[in-house]
Structure 1
Amino acid sequence: MNRIPLRAQALGARLAYALPRPLRRAIAGRPIRIDGQELALDAQLLITLQRLSGAGMVNETPEASRRKLEASERLVSGPPIEPVTVRGLVLGGVPARLYEPAGVGDDAPLLVFYHGGGWVVGSLDSHDNPCRFIAVNAHVKVLSVDYRLAPEHPFPAAVDDAVSAFRHAVAQAADLGVNPDLIAVGGDSAGGNLAAVVSHQQVLAGGPVPAFQLLFYPGTDGTTRRRSRDLFADGFFLTSDQMDWFMDHYMPEQDRRSDPRFSVLLAEDLSGMPPAYVATAGFDPLRDEGEAFADRLAASGVPVVKSRQADLIHGYINFLGVGTRFREALSEATGALRTGLALSGRKGADLNT
Structure 2
Amino acid sequence: MPLPLRTRVFWGLYRTFDVAPAMQQPADKVRKAADRRAKSLALPGSRFIVGRTDPRVTVRDDTATLPDGTALPIRVYRPGAAPSGERLPVVLNFHGGGWVSGNMRQSEWWASSVAAEAGVVVVSVGYRLAPEHPYPSPPEDCYAATVWVAEHAADLGVDAERLAVMGDSAGGNLAAVVAMMARDRSGPAIALQVLLYPSVDFVGDYPSEDENAHAPVLAKKDLDNVPDLYFHGTDHERGEPYASPLRGTHENLPPALIQTAQYDPLRDHGLAYAAALREAGVAARHTNYVNAVHGYISLPGVVPAARQALGEAAAEIRSALGAG
Q: TM-score, normalised by structure 2?
A: 0.89
Of 289-298 and 84-93, deviating more is: 84-93
The 1-side partners of 2:299 and 2:40 are apart by 10
1:95 maps onto 2:73 in alignment: yes
Q: Deviations over 1:179-208 (max 9, x none)?
A: 111110000001110110000011111222
Aligned to 1:77: 50
Q: Which residues in structure 2 correspond to 1:182-201 (within 5 Å)?
A: 182-201=162-181
Give 1:52 deviation, angstroms: 4.1
Aligned to 2:113: 133
How many residue pairs get aligned? The number is 307
The 1-side partners of 2:319 and 2:40 are apart by 33
What is the letter of the counterpart of residue 146 of structure 1?
G
Q: Which residues in structure 2 correspond to 1:67-216 (within 5 Å)?
A: 67-74=35-42, 75=46, 76-91=49-64, 92=66, 93-105=71-83, 106-216=86-196
Structure 2: runs of 5 or more not aligned: none
Q: Which residues in structure 2 correspond to 1:292-307 (within 5 Å)?
A: 292-307=272-287
Secondary structure in 1 matching 2:41: helix
The 2-side partners of 1:328 and 1:47 are apart by 21
Give 1:149 deviation, angstroms: 0.3
1:230 maps onto 2:210 in alignment: yes
* Native 8 Å contact 2:260 2:288 kept in 1: yes
Q: TM-score, normalised by structure 1?
A: 0.82
Q: Deviations over 1:126-169 (max 9, x none)?
A: 22222111111121111000100000000001111111001111
Aligned to 1:328: 308
The 1-side partners of 2:305 and 2:36 are apart by 24
Of 214-223 and 240-249, deviating more is: 240-249
What is the letter of the counterpart of residue 37 of structure 2?
L
Over the aligned positions, Cα root-mean-square deviation in angstroms equals 2.0
Aligned to 2:240: 259
Give 1:56 deviation, angstroms: 7.7
Of 70-79 and 162-171, deviating more is: 70-79
The 2-side partners of 1:326 and 1:215 are apart by 14
* Native 8 Å contact 2:165 2:194 kept in 1: yes
Q: Which residues in structure 2 correspond to 1:21-32 (within 5 Å)?
A: 32=2
Of 58-67 and 46-55, deviating more is: 46-55
The change in CA–CA distance for 1:180 and 1:79 in structure 2 (over 3 A counts) is closer
The 1-side partners of 2:210 and 2:139 are apart by 28
Aligned to 2:10: 46
Give 1:41 deviation, angstroms: 3.6
The 2-side partners of 1:270 and 1:157 are apart by 22
The change in CA–CA distance for 1:44 and 1:331 in structure 2 (over 3 A counts) is farther
The 2-side partners of 1:200 and 1:62 are apart by 29
Aligned to 2:199: 219
What is the letter of the counterpart of residue 130 of structure 2?
A
- Structure number, greater radius of gyration: 1
Give 1:100 deviation, angstroms: 0.9
The 1-side partners of 2:106 and 2:303 are apart by 19
* Native 8 Å contact 2:103 2:126 kept in 1: yes
Secondary structure in 1 matching 2:105: coil
What is the letter of the counterpart of residue 82 of structure 1?
P
Secondary structure in 2 matching 1:257: helix
The 1-side partners of 2:34 and 2:116 are apart by 27
The change in CA–CA distance for 1:296 and 1:284 in structure 2 (over 3 A counts) is same
Secondary structure in 2 matching 1:87: strand
Give 1:51 deviation, angstroms: 2.9
1:337 maps onto 2:317 in alignment: yes
What is the letter of the counterpart of residue 291 of structure 1?
L
Give 1:178 deviation, angstroms: 0.9
What is the letter of the counterpart of residue 116 of structure 1?
G
